[in-house]
Structure 1
Amino acid sequence: MAELVQVIVDVPTMQTNRPYTYRVPEHLERQVQPGMRVMVPFGRGSREVQGFVVAVDQPGEFDGDLKDLAGVMDLSPVLNDELLKLAGWLADQTYAFKITAFYTMLPSLLKAQTTRLVRLVDEVDEQTRLALFADQDELDLAKVQTDPLALSQLMRLRRAGKVVIDYRVHDRARAKQITTITPTLSFDDYEGERLGVLKNAHAQRNLLDYLQSLAGKTVPLKQAQEESGLSAATFTTGAKRGWLKKGQAEVYRDPSGALPTSPTAPPTLNQEQAQAVKRINQATDQRTAETFLLQGVTGSGKTEVYLRAIERALANGRSALMLVPEISLTPQIVSRVRGRFGKQVAVLHSGLSNGERYDEWRRIKRGEAKVVVGARSAVFAPLDNVGLIIMDEEHESSYKQDDAPRYHARNVAKWRAAYHHAPLVLGSATPSLESRARAATGLYHRLTLLHRVNQRPLPPIQVVDMKREVQARGETNYSLPLLNLLTDRLNKGQQSILMLNRRGFSSFVMCRDCGYVPKCPNCDISLTLHMDSRSLKCHYCGHEERIPNTCPNCQGHRIRYYGTGTEKAVAELQTYLPTARIIRMDVDTTRRKGMHEKLLTKFGNHEADILLGTQMIAKGLDFPGVTLVGVLNADTGLDLPDFRSSERTFDLLAQVAGRAGRADEAGQVVIQTFNPDNYVIQLARAHDYERFFVQEMNLRKLGAYPPYYYTVRVMGSHPDEQMAARVMQAVRQELVGQLDSQTIILGPTPRAIARLKNRYYYQIVIKYRHDPALHARLTAIMEGAQQQFDRETQVMIDPDPQYFL
């Protein structure tokens, strides 16, 4: 009776959520586990493909012709039982394939084309070493992954802790190694060696002294050099004379190593904070999967509430997960969390190198890190026994994944909290309307922090009508009130933050003679001017070209720049304030690894007077020296054809305003707008989230939008526009008459930006309250699209879309 396993295979041209049954070779029986990656023969030609074991069947009789596993890619599971269950739920809820969900949960080193190296880390018998490793210290697993006997031996060695597996990709990312030294002689033997050393050989005598002090302990060579003051050459001499043995040891890369890790003392909580902590800790102690909405004004001390709640989870012997929406927030948050919990903290976000992310993932998987801080994908961190999940700035749209599986981190966090019987804390000064509505109906437990911890009021907000400024002074990014306040802050040695929600130098280039605007050849959008590279770039597909000297359409020479961007805003500000030290922070200046942290550290050290950037500077940053915040263009995004545009604008204005006056000095905010009477601007000026919530909810109800209705976007794309339209018309036909009579189907219509990367996009928007038939119909559409349409067709289903653009 053969042992059988169920495998989800990775076949990009024809994906399926149905597992295939394979037989386990005899030597591997009872060693293959769910969550391992395997190689299997697939199809009539029996080509080898990768797959994930999702179940191991009990041995039984089977009359059919089953194929054997071709090989095992891991010596232990890379996905635990929880993540396997989560992947099944994720694929079902987001209309994705399980194989995509599996890869989403793993670090890049386990997804890329890698060399898998099995390394000896302990002594094994000579016969085994020769048979498997040919007297080497490491073995390429690919060479034996189809050899069941060798795999069986390696699995036993791994369980005994004698081997580990590393992953090396083409950029040579792998487990980091350092050189170590180990004394080989006893204290008395070193005394005997000293007799044979020349009296003037001071370095060798000092080496003998140092080796005696180690008492047989292994230390890194670098540490030994620092402690002894001896050169690497002296240690090499010692190795040749048999006084010490050099070796290799694995160390973790530390992505936050530059951040301060000295312990910090917790401050005294105010009454509001103490009440919130008490309520969350009760749920932690009782192991109840309760969802809390922590609604606190900016500067009210939400982070300290998080830290106290994490402390209780750790005290209960459990782990904690904290999500933040932006990489730019991570350095400051990690600094505070590590200051409280030290090396127990791991960091996961897209700004890490492959090697750093792999090391952090292994620390978490091995249970060496109990607290994880990270952006959206950190919600899949392989933590065991989770006692608390925190989602800071829960309203942020960056928590929603744009590509398959199109998950929202909030929903995944809820699933994991329920699985572990742990509380989920959603924190924000401006909660999403969906979360605030759930709190109003009692689905979430609402906790409020209505006052700033320093007892200072929220900063007054001055709204400047830019129509009058432009009429009086011409086109400009800076009103006189804002320039006067900036000058005042410079004179006082205080700092300012300016937000412009656009990067680059200028929005677009246009010919003043014929109106020609250079557009991307691959996308239906104008190109953005970048003066640092003197080029026009597409921010969607990456196309880049030179700035034209003459108009390609009429050959005219009146090429002019319109709109504004961060580059242009900095250049203009420098003309008004020539002595000001300005840091520009946007996607272009933070593209290089570590630049977020470097720029923020520089600003935090008062090496600059003004921080000017895009919305990445609006959230979570805490700089005591900032007393002025200016919003240069509050109208950006306000009138976009998207039902969430008002909510996003209010959130952004409230968040950036909260960066001012967070310490002893009073703060002030200036919002520049061409629409000063707009209700969003006026309610943001009044810091009145509750009135905004009521007014926006009324508008959502009239428009049949969330949270009154659920929404799904079905989008089809094809290189040929007519084919894209026909595909979506066929999808509509599969829905009409099959759904609840109250369900609304809109479209198909072209997407707002109809062409991207040489593909045309058409979409259908579905709005519903309760429709039992919808999920099954959409699942059938997803699975049937591969057979129904040609290979150039892509059909994407996005539940709860954040944008309809």
Structure 2
Amino acid sequence: MFKYAGVVINSESIQLDKIFTYVIPSEYIGKLHIGHRVKVPFGKGNKIIDGFVMELYEDILEHHKLKEISKVIDEKPMISQKDLELINFMKDKYLCSYIDAIKLVIAPGILEGKKHKTLEKLYINTEVVFQGKLYKEPYINIYKIIEDNNGSFTRSDLVNLYHISLSSINTLIKHGYIIKQDSVVQRYNVKQYTSYHKKSLTEDQEKVISHIINSNKSLFLIKGITGSGKTEVYMNLAEHAMNMDKSTIILVPEIALTPQMIERFKGRFGKDVAVFHSKLSDGERHDEWHRVKNNKVKLAIGARSAIFLPFTDLGFIIIDEEHESSYKSDSNPKYNAKEIAEYKSVLYNCKVILGSATPSIDTFYRSEKSEIELLRLNNRVDSAELPKLTIIDMRDELKNNNKSIFSAELYEAMKESLDKKEQIILFLNRRGFSTFVSCRKCGYVFKCDNCDISLTYHWSGNYLSCHYCGKTMKATNTCPSCKSNYVKHFGIGTEKVEAAIKRTFPEARVIRMDLDTTRKKNSYEDIYNSFKNQEADILVGTQMVAKGLDFHNVTLVGVLAADLSLNLPDYRSNEKTFQLITQVAGRAGRGRKKGRVIVQTYLPDNYSIKLAQKYDYDGFYREEIKIRKDMNYPPFSKILSITLSSKNEDLLIKNIQNLAINLRSLLLIDDKIEILGPTPCIISKINEFFRWQIIIKGQLTQSFNKNVKEMVYETLKEVYNDIRINIDINPNNLV
């Protein structure tokens, strides 16, 4: 019999990230299992806090001063054995704490006391005969209404709908003729969707589906050009899983894509599809998690975190637009959903399908090494043509004295599309009105007081905003430095594009999709439906509009500044540029009308832009993989980023220099690993915190990464409260 339990407590402190031993009370011996949530006394004051049982022991060497578990909270364990394996995997791979990993696999909000929402409904007590002195009006009337609608009404419903006296209802309850029972309120989407009928498959689609179903391999990459029908493949795989009594998780990279996916999958499979993403309320996410846990659904669609939904019978995990960086978390644990999916494929003996028109270089490299099986969809459904893509050199536009946002060719194409009542998507990966504001007399640039970054001007509301800390200030026409009135807005964002369209094409109906217009809960769905229903002619947006969306009346796509992603200080900047252009180009010509794409750039000779014009992914991959190999960047190495931040810059610099010395001593024996830095981060200050970083690059193993983490915390243990530590493996960016 197990008499002792190893418990992880609910604490964010890195010093408490360990397993503590507790005595199991006699009443719980034989009833307590690994994964149970418990209450335990902790610290000198024996404060009662939540914990999770991670281990059980029959005996231990040291019995002195052990505390006893206070209470087992839940009837059943909250963490399964497979969850426990996943938690340990994340702790080792992503250098996170136990509790950070645990929070991903348990029900959302459970540690904050979130529960099922209940309402007190009224029922007839069938064990008591309604008679006696109360058998008269108005009690007979109340009794009859409840009898006819058993369990449908609360007391307030009866008062509001039938204008019944609350005291009369309470009198019937008091005498036992009516009983109250708590009824669980379902907080998930019960909206009815138009049927989305099964479509005839192309020969290529049938081959891909058949191969995946019949293969004994577990990892697949579907490289399908835009419009080749990858979603229909996903639907057929999900249907096959259901027929085999198995479940499917489908991940999408942007919340903006979920309305379209939900519409299609619920239109095909009905309401029993779980939806899981960050725009849902805590209560909705809690209820959806429990629908999965209670085996009420066999299919879930969601963003990154949906990978942790508690299916026990997984058949497929499908990751759409697998190249997207949003599948990697920037907060602890800094997990990659694709890596979690691959690990779960082993745990649950399921298959993982990655889909993209422009796979990440890392994924395609693995397919070349036969670690992932490559399947291709090379043709659009109905043999539709890919849209013609034209590159416009904006330097020539300036020579011709065109200083407009729109090149002459894009202007004419927009005019033609609007005349034909066809729709247009304009893509610019920068929100706001102007990218910075400065004084033309003295050169002063309006910057955030808290961050080392220029403020962005927003015309709607006439304010300046920091896109890092969120600080805002009222815009002014007076320079704070020289007091002149020569203040000007420079650069463009989506808001400025919207304003320019309204000036140039005043009759056009314009909507915008970016972070500023999608802050409200249902804003993504509202914008999607509005454009789908052709209530707008032009959709302006950031990368939210660049992928996945399927509008059959869109015949023109304009990329207004293809150079933005090229100028990022990131080894993946060419890859991101090729992907964005190819993906947004794929939004055009998806119906029966031919599509057209116009890409504006100041760097028309860049290989990523030239190859995107030809939709030549294989050619781009060959160019890019050579550079990666020469520079020893992933997939030929791994990168570990250590970022330290503090309000005390001198303290920060002194300690990161000491850390670099210690790390170099760790690296002396390994010439396959190099250390870069310490240097200030590209954005050297955010929200009053100065930021410095060290980059380690090479053949990094999990044991090496663990040693680095231990050295970081050991070196900084005296200043831990004054310096923030951020360790990230293969980070999304190095900014």
Q: TM-score, normalised by structure 1?
A: 0.85
**Given that residues 655 and 716 in structure 2 are in contact (C-alpha distance below 8 angstroms), is that contact kept between their aligned partners in structure 1?**
no
Distance 1:23 1:496, change over 3 A: same
**Given that residues 541 and 757 in structure 1 are in contact (C-alpha distance below 8 angstroms), is that contact kept between their aligned partners in structure 2?**
yes
Q: Does residue 249 of the first structure (1) align with residue 158 of the second (2)?
A: no
Q: Does residue 508 of the first structure (1) align with residue 449 of the second (2)?
A: no
Deviation (angstroms), 1:788 = 4.9
SS of residue paired to 1:344: coil
- Matched to 2:526, the amino acid is K
Which deviates the most, 523-532 or 95-104?
A: 95-104
Q: Does residue 801 of the first structure (1) align with residue 734 of the second (2)?
A: no
Between the aligned partners of 2:2 and 2:624, the Cα distance in structure 1 is 62
Q: Does residue 758 of the first structure (1) align with residue 679 of the second (2)?
A: no
Which deviates the most, 175-184 or 753-762?
A: 175-184
- Matched to 1:321, the amino acid is I
Q: Does residue 467 of the first structure (1) align with residue 395 of the second (2)?
A: yes
The answer for the alignment partner of 1:12 in structure 2 is 12
The answer for the alignment partner of 1:177 in structure 2 is 118
Between the aligned partners of 2:373 and 2:266, the Cα distance in structure 1 is 28
**Given that residues 125 and 177 in structure 2 are in contact (C-alpha distance below 8 angstroms), is that contact kept between their aligned partners in structure 1?**
yes
Which deviates the most, 563-572 or 20-29?
A: 20-29
Deviation (angstroms), 1:301 = 0.5
**Given that residues 107 and 290 in structure 2 are in contact (C-alpha distance below 8 angstroms), is that contact kept between their aligned partners in structure 1?**
no
SS of residue paired to 1:331: helix
- Of the three residues 332, 342, 346, the one matched with 2:274 is 346
Between the aligned partners of 2:94 and 2:322, the Cα distance in structure 1 is 20
Q: Does residue 269 of the first structure (1) align with residue 207 of the second (2)?
A: no
Q: Does residue 690 of the first structure (1) align with residue 618 of the second (2)?
A: yes
Q: Does residue 791 of the first structure (1) align with residue 721 of the second (2)?
A: yes
Runs of 5+ in structure 1 lacking a partner? Answer: 115-166, 168-173
Distance 1:559 1:573, change over 3 A: same
**Given that residues 782 and 796 in structure 1 are in contact (C-alpha distance below 8 angstroms), is that contact kept between their aligned partners in structure 2?**
no
Deviation (angstroms), 1:732 = 2.4
SS of residue paired to 1:314: helix
Deviation (angstroms), 1:378 = 1.2
Distance 1:27 1:715, change over 3 A: same
Which deviates the most, 234-243 or 354-363?
A: 234-243
- Matched to 2:210, the amino acid is K
Between the aligned partners of 1:221 and 1:594, the Cα distance in structure 2 is 28
* Deviations, residues 577-596 of structure 1 (Å, cap 9, x unaligned): 10111011110110011100
- Of the three residues 531, 536, 557, the one matched with 1:629 is 557
SS of residue paired to 1:748: strand
Deviation (angstroms), 1:263 = 4.4
* Deviations, residues 555-580 of structure 1 (Å, cap 9, x unaligned): 11111100011111111110111011
Deviation (angstroms), 1:371 = 1.2
- Matched to 1:748, the amino acid is P
Between the aligned partners of 1:692 and 1:2, the Cα distance in structure 2 is 59
Which deviates the most, 736-745 or 348-357?
A: 736-745
- Of the three residues 524, 527, 530, the one matched with 1:599 is 527
The answer for the alignment partner of 1:417 in structure 2 is 345
The answer for the alignment partner of 2:581 in structure 1 is 653
The answer for the alignment partner of 2:284 in structure 1 is 356
Between the aligned partners of 1:414 and 1:440, the Cα distance in structure 2 is 17
- Of the three residues 659, 662, 677, the one matched with 2:590 is 662
Deviation (angstroms), 1:735 = 2.7
Between the aligned partners of 1:380 and 1:86, the Cα distance in structure 2 is 10
Between the aligned partners of 2:657 and 2:98, the Cα distance in structure 1 is 27
Distance 1:2 1:603, change over 3 A: closer
Cα RMSD for the two superposed structures: 2.9
Deviation (angstroms), 1:295 = 0.5
Deviation (angstroms), 1:373 = 1.0
Between the aligned partners of 1:798 and 1:363, the Cα distance in structure 2 is 33
Distance 1:774 1:179, change over 3 A: closer
Between the aligned partners of 1:697 and 1:309, the Cα distance in structure 2 is 32
The answer for the alignment partner of 1:699 in structure 2 is 627
* Deviations, residues 249-273 of structure 1 (Å, cap 9, x unaligned): 112112x334x43543211111111
Which deviates the most, 4-13 or 401-410?
A: 4-13
- Of the three residues 531, 534, 537, the one matched with 2:465 is 537
Between the aligned partners of 1:47 and 1:77, the Cα distance in structure 2 is 23
How many residue pairs match? The answer is: 728
Deviation (angstroms), 1:665 = 1.0
The answer for the alignment partner of 2:30 in structure 1 is 30
Deviation (angstroms), 1:417 = 1.0
Between the aligned partners of 1:219 and 1:264, the Cα distance in structure 2 is 34
- Of the three residues 208, 226, 232, the one matched with 1:298 is 226
Between the aligned partners of 2:541 and 2:615, the Cα distance in structure 1 is 22
* Deviations, residues 483-527 of structure 1 (Å, cap 9, x unaligned): 211121111111111111111111111001101011111110001
The answer for the alignment partner of 1:278 in structure 2 is 210
Between the aligned partners of 2:387 and 2:178, the Cα distance in structure 1 is 65
The answer for the alignment partner of 1:93 in structure 2 is 93
The answer for the alignment partner of 1:143 in structure 2 is none
* Deviations, residues 584-641 of structure 1 (Å, cap 9, x unaligned): 1110110011100011111111111111111111111011111111111111121222
Deviation (angstroms), 1:771 = 5.5
- Matched to 1:399, the amino acid is Y
Distance 1:212 1:355, change over 3 A: closer
**Given that residues 2 and 57 in structure 2 are in contact (C-alpha distance below 8 angstroms), is that contact kept between their aligned partners in structure 1?**
no
**Given that residues 709 and 768 in structure 1 are in contact (C-alpha distance below 8 angstroms), is that contact kept between their aligned partners in structure 2?**
yes
The answer for the alignment partner of 1:58 in structure 2 is 58
Distance 1:69 1:770, change over 3 A: closer
The answer for the alignment partner of 2:76 in structure 1 is 76
Between the aligned partners of 1:777 and 1:240, the Cα distance in structure 2 is 70
* Deviations, residues 72-126 of structure 1 (Å, cap 9, x unaligned): 44443332222222111101111111111112334542243x3xxxxxxxxxxxx
Between the aligned partners of 1:610 and 1:338, the Cα distance in structure 2 is 28
Deviation (angstroms), 1:370 = 1.9
Deviation (angstroms), 1:297 = 0.3
SS of residue paired to 1:407: coil
**Given that residues 2 and 23 in structure 1 are in contact (C-alpha distance below 8 angstroms), is that contact kept between their aligned partners in structure 2?**
no
The answer for the alignment partner of 1:488 in structure 2 is 416
Distance 1:766 1:90, change over 3 A: same
The answer for the alignment partner of 1:427 in structure 2 is 355
The answer for the alignment partner of 1:146 in structure 2 is none
Deviation (angstroms), 1:776 = 4.0
Deviation (angstroms), 1:315 = 1.7
- Of the three residues 504, 509, 515, the one matched with 1:581 is 509
* Deviations, residues 218-254 of structure 1 (Å, cap 9, x unaligned): 44239xx99xx98474999789668765544112112
SS of residue paired to 2:381: coil
Distance 1:277 1:14, change over 3 A: closer
Between the aligned partners of 1:461 and 1:64, the Cα distance in structure 2 is 75
**Given that residues 716 and 793 in structure 1 are in contact (C-alpha distance below 8 angstroms), is that contact kept between their aligned partners in structure 2?**
yes
Give me the identity figure in percent: 37
- Matched to 1:279, the amino acid is H
The answer for the alignment partner of 1:749 in structure 2 is 679
The answer for the alignment partner of 1:717 in structure 2 is 645
Between the aligned partners of 2:214 and 2:140, the Cα distance in structure 1 is 62
Between the aligned partners of 2:166 and 2:656, the Cα distance in structure 1 is 71
Between the aligned partners of 2:417 and 2:38, the Cα distance in structure 1 is 62
* Deviations, residues 744-802 of structure 1 (Å, cap 9, x unaligned): 22111111111112222222222213668623422422553562544112232211122
Q: TM-score, normalised by structure 2?
A: 0.93
The answer for the alignment partner of 2:518 in structure 1 is 590
Between the aligned partners of 1:63 and 1:487, the Cα distance in structure 2 is 82
Deviation (angstroms), 1:534 = 1.7
Deviation (angstroms), 1:316 = 1.6
- Of the three residues 443, 446, 453, the one matched with 2:381 is 453
Which deviates the most, 11-20 or 705-714?
A: 11-20
Between the aligned partners of 1:60 and 1:732, the Cα distance in structure 2 is 40
SS of residue paired to 2:55: strand
Between the aligned partners of 1:237 and 1:46, the Cα distance in structure 2 is 49
- Matched to 2:187, the amino acid is R
Between the aligned partners of 2:701 and 2:125, the Cα distance in structure 1 is 74
The answer for the alignment partner of 2:697 in structure 1 is 767
